[in-house]
Amino acid sequence: MFIDTHCHFNFPAFVTDLENSINNIRQAKINSLIIPAVSATHFSQILQLTEQYSELYAALGLHPIYQHSPADLEQLSDIVSTHPTKLVAIGEIGLDRYDQSVDWQQQLDFFRAQLVLAKRYDLPVLIHSRKTHDIIYHELHQANLPCRGVIHGFSGSYQQALQFIKLGYYIGVGGVISYTRANKTRQTIAKLPLESLVLETDAPDMPLSGRQGQINRPENIVDIFNILSQLRTEQPSQIINAILTNTLTLFSRINRMEITNPIKR
C-alpha cells in the first residue's frame, strides 16, 4: 500500500482521462495521493478533485519559479483560513536558483509569507529546493514550523539531508534514485534513517531511468519503492510500514480509517 506525497494529478496528463487515471492508481494500491499546487489558478481545480475522489488530498501553494501577485497570496490565505477538509499541506513552495529569470527577492518574500501561513494553521510544507539547500535550511530554522514538512525531490549531500532531518523534516524519495549516475543521492538515501523518508513521484515530471521522454505516472511509485528496497538493508515489509507511518504522522489530516489492511511486520 502506497501514499504518493507529491503528484501533480491535476495536470492534463491525468485529468484528460480522469477515470482511467483513478483506476490506474487504485490498481497500483495507491491509497492516497497529495496534489500540490504551483499557482493560484490551480487552487479550485485541486480542491474539486479532492472532493470528487477519496484517494486525493490537496496541498495549496505558490511555486517559486512561477510568477505570482500579492492577490494570489491573499487568495491562498483566504482559502486556508476556511480549513478545507482535504487540505493537508502548504505546497509546492520553496526557492530556486537554477532558473535565473525569476526574481530572487520575490521568491524569498513569497516563501517566507507561506511559511508564516503554514505556521498559523499548523500545516506541513512541501519544499521545492534547487541549488538553495543551505538557504532553505536557514529559512526553515528561523520559521520553526510546528508541523515541519518534506524536502521534495532531494538531491543534496548526506550532511545536508541530516541537517533537515535534525530540524524534523522528511526527505522525499522519488525517481532520481533510479539513475545509477545519481550515485551521491542513491548513497544518501541508502543510509539515511528510515524514519525520515517518504515516497513521491512528482508525476508527470521526474521520469524514471529508461523512461526519459515518457510521462511519469503515480503508479511508478511501486518501482521507486522497489529500487529503494534494493538500496536499503531492511526488509521491504519493514520499509513500507515505516514509510506509511512516517507519512501518516506528518500528514495527520489524511483519513487513517481509509488506510486498510497494512502490511504486517
234 marked as binding residue: no
6 marked as binding residue: yes
b/e burial code for range 203-215 (CB count within 10 A of at least 16 → b): bbbbbbeeeeeee
Element containing residue 183 per DSSP (H, E):
helix 183-191
Q: Rounded to 10 degrees, what is the CA torsion of 180, 164, 70, 80?
A: 100
152 marked as binding residue: yes
Calpha distance 227→241 (Å, rounded): 16
Say if residues 117 and 143 touch (Cβ distance below 8 Å): no
Query: What is the separation of C-alpha 66 from the centre of its chain, rounded to a whole number of angstroms?
Result: 18
202 marked as binding residue: yes
Calpha distance 83→41 (Å, rounded): 19
Known binding residues for a divalent metal cation are 6, 8, 92, 128, 152, 202
Known binding residues are 6, 8, 92, 128, 152, 202
